[in-house]
Amino acid sequence: MKRKGQMQVLAILFLILPGHLIAQNCETHHLEGDCNSDLQKGYKTYSQSHSTSISALDTVEFNVVFYGQKDYVLSFCTHSKLYPIHFILIDQQTQDVLYDNAEDNYLESIGLGFDVAKPLTIKVDVLARKSTEEEIEDKVGCLGLLIQYKNYSRKKVSLQL
């Protein structure tokens, strides 16, 4: 009887374990890979940096508050088969599109700054130009949004007053 109970536990573990091993953990993707190569000297990692799973059929939205008197660098990274990354910055208050990286050949990093706090929605999708139709339907990878910041220099702040 004891052996039967052990076999049942093992059977359950074998059913659960493969799914866990196959599942992709994207929690820290923004601190790894291509995003890591965009780390800027003198900048700190912003706590609103984020990573998530994405496929070529998805659009992901990040709602981020950018505080005033700071310079920011946004860097996006994903699996090589999912590039290029398309992102749009939208002002949450007016719903105006502030920036669309399609106009700049899908660059993956941008610098920005605001004098006052500005809530933005960042819409992101991947175009997967290096993928086949089959891979586009099946491929799920990680998408990282690394946000770095630094305070405006004192000299710069006093010039803006």
pLDDT tens-digit map of 99-121 = 999 999 999 999 999 999 999 99
Spatial CA neighbour of 101 closest among 83, 79, 81: 83
Residue 78 in any domain: the answer is yes
In a domain, 5, yes or no: no
Does residue 7 lie within any of the structural domains?
Answer: no
Quote the number of domains for the chain: 1
Answer whether residue 159 is part of any domain: no
Q: Which domain covers residue 134, as residue numbers? A: 25-152
Q: Is residue 40 part of a domain?
A: yes
Residue 54: name the closest of 137, 143, 116, 121 by CA: 143
Tokens of 31: 């601190």
CATH number of the domain residue 128 falls in: 2.60.120.380
Please check whether residue 129 lies inside any domain of the structure: yes
Helical ranges in the chain per DSSP H? 2-22, 33-36, 133-138, 154-160
Look at residue 16 and tell me if it is in a domain: no
- Is-contact 48 147, C-beta < 8 A? yes
Give the least confident one: 31-40, 88-97, 122-131, 141-150.
Answer: 31-40
Total-model pTM: 0.79
Query: Residue 100 CB: number of other CB atoms within 10 A?
Result: 14
The pLDDT value recorded for residue 104 is 97
